[in-house]
Amino acid sequence: MDAVKNTNITIIGVPLHYGANRKGVDLGPDAIRGANLHDRLEALGYSIEDAGDLQVNRLLQPAAQDEKLKYMNEIARVDQALCDTVSEEMGKGRFPLVLGGDHSIAIGTIKGVLRHVKRLGVIWFDAHTDVNTHETTDSGNIHGMSLAALLGYGHDDLTSIGGSGLKLLPENIVIIGARSIDPGERAFLKAKGIKVFTMHDIDRNGMKQVMEEALDIVSNGTDGVHLSLDLDGMDPSDAPGVSTPVSGGLSYRESHFAMELLFERNLLVSAEIVEVNPMLDQHNKTAVAAVELIGSAFGERIL
């Protein structure tokens, strides 16, 4: 148990659903805590602090002012607060483990990490690629725009969170598990040269080869790696409680194996679990799967 550099973890909950425009994802942090995250990590030898949940205005019934950027004001406010909290924890030398909430929270998490790790690699585990902007989106849902915003594309109120100077570089990102990509996203990914390991690639080459290649990319010329774990990357039969399920996803074993290989490389500096929606789940199965995957990413082994 020494392949994650930092054994002091701070859990930060973000009960935000506005980016998915669907109720239930805001209940994710409690569902994940209820699946025994704390004890599981403690059993692996980590020292855990739970910072509780960030305050999200859940009584708000805002009209979705801009149809192409739904609920942007509240999302940007929460992401800024999250960026500050993550940065503060990292300043204390702790590992931030953020519990969402929808995937728009990645903007806040990763901007906070970028304050400390300038050259950051990212593993974006997802059925989607989240590189829309208000100009390409069909849904107007900001959880589909977070990765673009982190690369510096999209509305100023999203790209400027934590300071516009903080950016991810396309060559330091890999997306794993993609199978639902919008036309505008396809063009963006090609133009920026972002490495996407689609389900086709995983079918063809297997998770071992895909993860080895992915880990080489995110560790090359970087000072640490962030894991952005969108549970809809898994197949809906194993993770039904997500806001935007897509069939044909990563199996339970493929997902675990990916996390086990990640742990072996000793790269992680931060992580987040997003899109768990207990209102759509069966017996908290998706939150349990999330906690099990985090277990594997932090060193749990079968034997």
Ligand X SMILES: NC(=[NH2+])NCCC[C@H](N)C(=O)O
Active site residue 66: no
Nearer Cβ to ligand X (130/281): 130
Q: 53 is in the binding site of which of ligand X, Mn ion, none (Cβ under 5 to 8 A by kind)? A: none
**Whole-number minimum distance, CB 278 to ligand X, in Å?**
16
CA–CA separation, 202 and 183 (whole Å): 22
- Site membership for Mn ion, residue 103 (CB under 5 A): yes
CA–CA separation, 138 and 260 (whole Å): 36
**Whole-number minimum distance, CB 110 to ligand X, in Å?**
14
Active site residue 275: yes
CA–CA separation, 236 and 249 (whole Å): 7
Stretch that binds Mn ion, among 21-29, 62-70, 75-83, 228-236 (CB under 5 A): 228-236
Binding site for ligand X (CB under 6 A): 103, 128, 130, 132, 137, 139, 141, 143-144, 182, 230, 232, 244, 275
Active site residue 128: yes
β-strands 225-230, 121-125 pairing: parallel
Indicate the residue whose CB is closest to ligand X.
Answer: 144
Nearer Cβ to ligand X (10/141): 141
Residue count of the chain: 303
Q: Out of 53, 201, 230, 235, which residue is the one contacting Mn ion (CB under 5 A)?
A: 230
Query: Residues forming the annotated binding site for Mn(2+)?
Result: 103, 126, 128, 130, 230, 232
